[in-house]
Each structure stands twice: as C-alpha cells, then as structure tokens.
Amino acid sequence: MVPSPHKIVWNNCLNIIKDNIQPSSFSTWFEPIVPLKLKSNVLTIEVPSHFFREYIEEHFIDLLGHSIRKELGSTAKLEYCVKVDSHSKGMPLPQQGQAQFQNKTIPFSRINRDEVASPYVIPGIRQLKIDPQLNAAYSFDNFVEGPCNRLARTAGLSIAEKPGGPFNPLFVYGGSGLGKTHLGQAIGIEIKKLMPEKIVLYVSANLFQIQFMDAANVKNKLTDFMHFYQMIDVLIIDDVQDFAGKPGTQNAYFNIFNHLHQSGKQLILTSDKAPVDLKDLDDRLLSRFKWGLSAELQSPDYATRLAILEKKCYNEGVEVPREVLEFIASQLTTNIREIEGTFWSLLAQSTFNKQPVTLKLAQGIIDSLVNTTPREVSVQDIQKTVCSYFGITQDVLLSKTRKREICQARQIAMYLSRNMTKNSLSSIGSMIGGKDHATVLHSCNTVCNLMDTDRMFRQYVTDIEKRLKNG
Ligand code: ADP
Ligand code: MG
C-alpha cells in the first residue's frame, strides 16, 4: 500500500515531534490530529477545536514549524481545519457559519479556516440547521456485528428505521473501547441517511455539561439552551456517566429528556456502566433510563476481533497476512480501540521502515505500544488473588468442601490458571488440591458458561483478572 503524500508527510512530522515531547502530551495533542491534504507546500491538518489549535500553537509551534519545514522546505505552510469547536463556542447555538481568518506572526505561514460550521439558527426563520456532529467513519457499515454487540446493534438499526419507537431511550453500556461512541454515531448517521429532515445531534455528556455551565451563568442563555435542545429529534448523549456529581446538568437533561420523550423524540445514551451501577446519578433520571432498552456491548470474541481487522484491511485497501491478523486478534482481547491502534501502528511502521508486515513486527508493536505482554502470573498468584477477592483462606480454597461459593472460587482459579499461565491442565489440577485434568477442563467450561449467563459472576472473573494483570 502506498499511503497518500499528506499522510506520509504528517507521519514523518509526528516522528520528529514524538522524539521531542512527553508521550502523554503526544497522545493528547498530536494523535487526534488528522492530516487532510497536501497541496504544493501547504499541509492541511484537522484539529478537533479552536481551543485545541490555540493550545498547540501556544505550546508546540516551534517544534511543529521545525518538523514541517524539515519535510516541505522553508516555504512550508500549515493550514488548520477546525472540525468541531467545543470549548470556545460552548453550546451549538446561533452562529453564522462564516469562515474566520486569523493571522498571527508565527515562524511559518498559516491559514486558518473553519471548514465545518457549527450549528446555527437563522434569525427569524424557524428552519433550524444543525450540524449533527457525526463522523461518517462511524457508520453501521463499518460496525462489525458479533455476539458481543448483536442486541445493541439490532436495536440501533431498528431505531434508525423508526426513531421514537419502543426502544426509547436506548441505553448502550460497556467498557472502554467497545464501540459505544461508534454505535451511537452509527444510529445518527443512519437516521440522517433515511430521514435527512430529522434534527439529529450527537453530543458528549462532557460537552453538554460545559454548554450548560456556560449558559447557566448568563441571563437568557439558559432559556436558549433549553429551547435549543428541545428542538432536537434524535439526541445522542455519549458517556452519560460523566453527569455524575453534577446535579444542575442532570436536572437540565432531565427536563430536556421529559420534553423530548413526551413529544415522541428519540433519546440515545451511552455509558461505561449499566444503569443500576451508575452511582451519583439522580434516581429520577436512572428510572427513565430504564424505560426503553438497555443493551450491553461486551468484549468481542475472537471471530469478531478478526472480522474487525479484516474489515479495516478492506476499508484501507491493504493486504496483511492472515497469520498476522490472527495473531493480533488472539493477543488483544478486550478493547477494540487497542486492536485498531495496533493495526494502524503496524501499517505505519511497515510503510515507513519499508518492512513487510510480519508476525515479528506485530509482536514488537504489541509489546511496545499496548504493553499487553502478560505479566508473569503464577498459579499461586492466581490462587492468592482469588482468595483475597472472595475473602477466604487458601486452605479453604484447596479443601474438599463442596460449598457453592467455594466451588465457584476454585473453578475461577482453575479457569484463570488455564488462561493466564502456561501450566498444563494436570499441573493446575494437582496444585489445587489434587484434581485431575478432566476436572480442571470441566471447571473451565463451567466458568465460560456462567460468564455467559450470570452478569455478577462475569464481573468477579473480570475483576480478578484485572487485579492480576495490574499486579
Ligand atoms: P467506546 O466509545 O466504547 O470507548 P468507541 O466507539 O470509541 O468505543 O470504539 C473504539 C474503536 O473501536 C473505534 O475506532 C471504533 O470504530 C472501533 N469499533 C468498536 N466496535 C466496533 C465494531 N463492532 N466494528 C468495527 N469497529 C469497531
Ligand atoms: Mg466513547
């Protein structure tokens, strides 16, 4: 695959920048930037907000200028395209979508252009034009279906065909990097496709909160804020757990929710926790979240992980040896964002170092980037952690007692020993009170089945696994 020139140039710049700043600054301020085009010596990059642009100019302009000049020569120019301006404009309220040009004297020329207008209202005309803040890449086409997301995906598709129907609100929850944002956006995109006249708005809970705070302090602005949100047909709020501990924002959303729901408008929420586990959220709000459908996004199984990687290859038009895809899918099991990150690094490294995509390269990336090299965990570590998690002694764990809780703890210890160590079934068995290999295998299967059917049980296993991984 030959990547486009703007991507090559930008990636070379990133390599220089990366060597000169802290990794955390790099991931915060440079990873979100998307190179858009390169025309003669003008490189256009997309930044998420004005605030973001101002910040990088204030802090990294010399480095940025140096790296771009190194790539494109002394006449190099950088053009910013600000995609969504969340901070300086606050809420998506009246604003004419005019391009603004600013010029400061900086070490190299810069053209600054707002390409995507924020939502605006034309005064005196009831017709409302709102940028739904949707990213075309997050479509249903790109959302691979698997057992981990089937319910949520199907509900999402059904909402897209008939917003305001039985699944209202739709509450999508699951861990980080499992596709909540993607799915919320996909529903919005699909609705806009099928019903362009619908007013769809995607907004993170965080941005909603910033807008609310901004409005709450200024006369009349709060009314505008409420009116604005009450005009939406499909309101997608991402990461609603961020409302925790913010009663004012919750109250505003509660009123908006009621208004929209009563008018048959569709509400979609995503959260990193199930409604029952959302502490610090108003009960009135929580009870409403349960009115419609709650659907969980779970960690993808191997086949889905592989299908996601294959889809990426297809979309990017690249060929990656199947064994490499299988390797990534087998190593990164819990977070799709990490799987994607590894995929991108692999392509980037192979292109820039002119190396073929090999298993070895993939292994190196997984080790360095995601740092998922499993910590050396022993059967003893596992038994100890299981005991401390359930508050039992090791003697009890290894005893012959058939008490249900103890049996389950024992089975979890065997299951984790099998998944996290290289010990054979029979050695795992002998270390847990002289069981044979068939008993260990049976225990592992029991744990798998229980994890599928019992949410609480699944939580135990994931918690213990996390503790072990984090040392
Ligand atoms: P979350 O909001 O749950 O943290 P995201 O929606 O941001 O996760 O997803 C992380 C990444 O994984 C995104 O790039 C997204 O496109 C991708 N992704 C998640 N689920 C799927 C899926 N089922 N098929 C394809 N890509 C997915
Ligand atoms: Mg998200």
Q: What is the CATH number of the domain that holds 407?
A: 1.10.1750.10
Do 216 and 250 lie in one domain? The reply is yes
Do 268 and 403 lie in one domain? The reply is no
Do 153 and 277 lie in one domain? The reply is yes
Is 105 a domain residue?
Answer: no
- Measured by CA distance, the residue closest to atom 18 of ligand 1 is 179
Do 256 and 281 lie in one domain? The reply is yes
- Measured by CA distance, the residue closest to atom 11 of ligand 1 is 337
Do 361 and 449 lie in one domain? The reply is no
pLDDT, position 375: 62
- How far is ligand 1, taken at its centre, from the CA of residue 167, in Å? 22
Do 241 and 182 lie in one domain? The reply is yes
**Mean pLDDT score, 152-171:** 95
Confidence band for 334, pLDDT divided at 50, 70 and 90: confident
pLDDT, position 297: 96
Sign of CA pseudo-dihedral 93, 94, 95, 96: positive
- Measured by CA distance, the residue closest to atom 5 of ligand 1 is 179
Residue 91 belongs to what domain range?
5-99
Q: Which of 107-111, 147-151, 344-348, 368-372 has the highest mean pLDDT?
A: 147-151
Do 151 and 279 lie in one domain? The reply is yes
Is 224 a domain residue?
Answer: yes
**Mean pLDDT score, 323-342:** 92
The ligand 1 atom at the shortest distance from the C-alpha of residue 300 is: 23
Do 280 and 158 lie in one domain? The reply is yes
User: Would you give the end-to-end CA distance of the chain in angstroms?
Assistant: 40
**Is the pLDDT confidence value at 38 over 70?**
yes
Do 410 and 306 lie in one domain? The reply is no
**C-beta 184 within 6 A of ligand 1:** no
Do 33 and 86 lie in one domain? The reply is yes
**Is the pLDDT confidence value at 376 over 50?**
yes
Question: Mean of the per-residue pLDDT values for the chain?
Answer: 84
**Is the pLDDT confidence value at 311 over 50?**
yes
Is 127 a domain residue?
Answer: no
List 38's β-bridge partners, or say none: 43
Confidence band for 1, pLDDT divided at 50, 70 and 90: low
CA–CA gap between residue 211 and residue 199 (Å, rounded): 19
**Is the pLDDT confidence value at 396 over 80?**
yes
- 400: how many CB neighbours lie within 10 A of its CB? 7
Q: How many independent structural domains does the chain possess?
A: 4
Cα maximum dimension of the chain:
81
Percent above pLDDT 70 for the chain:
87
Do 407 and 360 lie in one domain? The reply is no
- How far is ligand 1, taken at its centre, from the CA of residue 179, in Å? 3
Do 181 and 207 lie in one domain? The reply is yes
Interval 406-437: pLDDT, tens: 999 999 999 999 989 888 888 899 999 999 98
pTM of full prediction above 0.85: no
Are residues 74 and 66 in contact, defined by beta-carbon separation less than 8 angstroms? Answer: no
